[in-house]
Structure 1
Amino acid sequence: MATAPGANPLARVPPCAYLDGAAVLSLLPFRTLIPHLQSTLPTLSLSIHSPPRHSHTVDPSSSSTLLLMPSWSSDPSLPFIGVKLVTSFPLNSRLRLPGVHASFLLFSSSTGVPLASLDATPLTLLRTAAVSALASLHLSRPDASVLILVGAGSLAPFLVRAHLFSRPSINRVIIWNRTPDKARDLALDLRREFDSGVVFDHAEDLDELVGLGDIVSCATSSVSPLIRGELLKPGAHLDLVGSFTPAMRECDDEALVRGRVFVDFEVAMKEAGELVGAFERGVMAPGDVAGTLVELLGGVKEGRRSNEEVTVFKSVGTAVVDLLAAQLAYQTYTAST
């Protein structure tokens, strides 16, 4: 039907919601985000189209990067298109600023109408930590009590919260950072936040620390190995979150050889420096990777097989998880308005 003369077709377009950082944090607590991903990843991930992300170097001298991550769903129960724009500026730590900033745009996949703009900095931190916690549910020991956190940046407290949610048996968290003061400050902040029996501490010798961890979670931008595999205790679970380019690397080859390795998505085998380097050096082959997070959640692949087994989980993050997290945030928001 033709538009009536003088009518404004834009008047029929619903307003685009803006969900700022505080709103995203309130809409995506781990108690709802982790179960949401646990149920939707196995059922909806195959319907989500996620082309390879664009990665552009903004400043080679500082490794500053711009990432563009599109996704859309062909499942009627997930009628959305999403695009995340991310900037990674590692040297922001010198300015006491977060190194990663992001925005997420959500559209209707039936009309293309913009539905929401979300502050994707907390969205990314929340979904990344939630993915690590989900993997830990299948790969770490159920009685894990000591969490070693390597890195004290913006992601660090989210990883602590997520791992404590998935493994409430954890009663000690020890933090290491290249700048010891940052590790100490984060430990103090977490002590104030958690009124529980969990002990929060920091340490300066990483090699001495690694062997204590039932779970060792790394969130750094390191380009050289921090974790020596020979130091991991039997039964340890190594969670590698930081690297997302072939030039980055948080553990040595021995950690991969000792561990049974899983990835969040297959793209990790092309982007994660730990795996890309190990393949190139002939230390392991892509076929040696035991499976993906979706296969773990769907029961296609078996998780931890013994108390002594060393497990490794490598995530690089994908637009699939972004879209599912944005879905939950947007639908929770609209249900309350």
Structure 2
Amino acid sequence: MSLLVLTAADCNKIISSFEPNDLVTLMEDVFTSYSRSQTHSRIHSNPPSKSVAPPRTKIQTENYTALFMPARLEPYGTSIKVVSVLTDASLARGLSATTLVLDEQTGAVRGVVNATRLTPLRNAAGSLLSSRLVGPKHPTSIVAFGAGMQIESNLDLHLRSYPSIKTCTIINRTKNARLDNLCVFLSATFPGVSIAGIGRGKDNQAEGAVEAAVRSASIVICATSATQALFPSAWVHAGTHVILIGSYTPAMREVDRELIRRACPKEKRTNSATAYRKGAPILLVDSIKACAEEAGELIDAQLSPDDMVEIGEMIATSHAGENVEDDKQVNDSDFAGPITIFKSVGIAAQDVAIASAVFTKAQKLSESVGTKIDQYDSL
């Protein structure tokens, strides 16, 4: 059997041809299948094989933390992603990540895919999906905390999908080359959008600009390794959609407990997805189980699983035509009112789907992309 190796450059060539709608549809399949499998496993002792995602395995070393994330998602197949998180994040831009794609018939490795940009892309696609499901219909301003690949992918997809967005503010811990380069890239790509970068540092004037940006934001995206809230709940006005994709441990948190609780309905509902109406508060998560164990913001707010709605459940409800009425009680001038939040710690099934999509397209392109190693298994 041959082995196809896709470098970071190969993957960039392929993903540049993906449209936002294609990526959103891919994530719809992932989250719907995942939520169905979780529902099945709660009812039956043996969960179906359509979506299987064991807990990630972690190995800690002096210089990095290695994460191993196996998963299977039909019809996309089986894969395992390996990610290394450096102890000193300043030593590299983004995470070192590789996905091994297995052959469906033999289980042998048939592809080695550089996932450095695939992880931010699949996260951004999930974020965009959440915006379409529960976010403002015509956002005008977007604010991002962080300046890495996660933010670059999220802003790229959101700005491509929402022509209504006219201002984009990127807030980083410091004013550095990475922030400047991201602003230059987005300004060139989206000339109709006003792009601004703010380095917080210890500048009080900069902090005032951060507050003004958050207060006027339609969508706020956070992708940092923060352990304290990046801004207070009071800065976020009603109707804002907040996307949290940075924290993935109980010690990490990007927003305060007050903001999280504002997204939780005051009255408990048996089926939050079915009861939800556009403009009402809702806390969407990629996985209730994973977020309850790993999402520092939700743990700090002392939430129960009943406070969360899986995005896969929301997709199924939306497709069934049940989310058709707006909540007429929403008052956009009252910032103490309802907001929506999407919290994601990432599920391995996303990695299967995005790696499979890239690998399949590479195979169709034949000799023009990737390195093929013939008779890889031959002795």
Pick the TM interval, shorter chain. Answer: 0.7 to 0.9
How has the CA–CA distance of structure 1 residues 314 and 52 changed in structure 2, closer, same or farther, with 3 Å as cutoff? Answer: same
Which of 166, 189, 193 is matched with 1:193 structurally? Answer: 189
Q: Deviations over 1:134-188 (max 9, x none)?
A: 1111121011110001111222211101212333321210011110234344222
Give the direction of change, closer, same or farther, for the CA distance of 1:263–1:303 in structure 2 (3 Å limit): farther
Which is worse superposed, 217-226 or 296-305?
296-305
**For residue 276 of structure 1, what is the aligned residue in structure 2?**
299
Q: Hey, what's the Cα distance between the residues in 2 that align with 1:314 and 1:304?
A: 24
Contact 1:296–1:303 (CA<8 Å) still a contact in 2?
no
Residue 69 in 1 paired to residue 92 in 2? no
Q: Which residue does the alignment assign to 1:34?
A: 24
The alignment of Structure 1 onto Structure 2 pairs a total of residues equal to 310
Matched residue type, 1:88:
V
Q: Is the 8 A contact 1:134 1:166 kept in 2?
A: no
Residue 264 of structure 1 is matched in structure 2 by 286
1:285 aligned to 304, 307, 311, which one? 304
Shift of 1:106: 0.3
Aligned residue identity for 1:233: H
Compute the displacement of 1:240 (Å).
Answer: 0.4
Distance 2:286 2:162 in 1: 19
1:18 & 1:303 partners in 2: Cα distance?
46
Whether the 8 Å CA contact 2:168–2:193 is kept in 1: the answer is yes
Displacement of 1:58 after TM fit?
2.4
Equivalent pair of 2:94/2:116 in contact (CA under 8 Å): no
Matched residue of 1:180: which SS? coil
Q: Tell me the secondary structure at the aligned position of residue 155 of structure 1.
A: helix
Unaligned runs of 5+ in 2: 38-49, 199-205, 264-281, 333-337, 367-379
Task: Tell me the amino acid that sits aligned with residue 50 of structure 1.
Answer: A
| 1:211 lines up with 2:215 in the alignment | yes
Supply the distance in 2 between the matched residues of 1:161 and 1:54 (Cα, whole angstroms). 31
Matches within 5 A, 1:1-337: 13=1, 15-28=2-15, 29-31=18-20, 32-43=22-33, 46=37, 47-59=50-62, 64-73=64-73, 75=74, 77-78=75-76, 80-89=77-86, 91-93=88-90, 95=91, 97-181=92-176, 182-194=178-190, 196-203=191-198, 204-205=206-207, 206-259=210-263, 260-266=282-288, 267-279=290-302, 284-289=303-308, 291-299=309-317, 302=323, 305-306=326-327, 308=332, 309-337=338-366
Indicate how the Cα distance of structure 1 residues 302 and 278 shifts in structure 2: closer, same or farther if over 3 A, else same: farther
SS in structure 1 at match of 2:23: helix
For 1:324 and 1:132, the matched residues in 2 are separated by 16
Flag structure 1 segments of 5+ consecutive residues without an equivalent.
Answer: 1-12
Distance 1:167 1:295, change over 3 A: farther
How far does residue 82 in structure 1 lie from its aligned partner after superposition? 0.4
Deviations along 1:292-329, one digit per CA (max 9) or x if unpaired, are: 12112222685995464300110011111000111111
- 2-side partners of 1:85 and 1:298: how far apart? 31
Amino acid at match of 1:312: I
Q: TM-score, normalising length from structure 1? A: 0.85
CA offsets per residue over residues 8-32 of structure 1, 9 Å max, x none? xxxxx2x111111122223232433
Structure 2 letter corresponding to 1:19? L
Q: What secondary structure sits across from 2:117 in the alignment?
A: helix
What is the RMSD of the two structures over their aligned residues, measured on CA atoms?
Answer: 2.2
Partner AA of 1:27 in structure 2: I
Give secondary structure in 1 for the equivalent of 2:317: coil
CA apart distance, 1:110: 2.4
CA 1:185–1:41: 2 relative to 1, 3 Å = same
TM-score by length of 2: 0.76
